[in-house]
Amino acid sequence: MDLITLNDGEARQLTFDQSMGGFAWTPDSRELVYDSNRRAGTNLWRIGVGGGKPERVTQTAGHPAFPAIAQRGNRLVY
């Protein structure tokens, strides 16, 4: 996934995952939550807009996909 800033219009690669589904921005727009088939199956991951190493958000027996985040109330649904 690439991130393009409005200030300069330059694209910067944010994730290097080969298989991604849906994604959602956190309410403060500082992180991106997405589903990806990394390592042992599909899970939800998050990464900051500055890049870095993705962190797993959840690990379930199912295949979480297409996350959505409430603007208020700290709720995540997939």
Taking only the tens place, the pLDDT of each residue in 18-63 is 788 899 999 999 999 999 887 667 889 999 988 889 999 877 767 8
CA 37 to chain centre: 12
pLDDT for 19: 80
pLDDT for 61: 67
pLDDT by residue (tens digit) across 61-78? 678 889 999 998 889 998
pLDDT for 40: 67
Cβ-contact 77, 67 below 8 angstroms: yes
CA angle at 11 for the pair 6 and 13, rounded to the nearest 5°: 130
Q: Which residue has the higher pLDDT, 25 or 4?
A: 25
DSSP string, 40-75: SSEEEEEEETT----EEEE--SS---S-EE-SSSS-
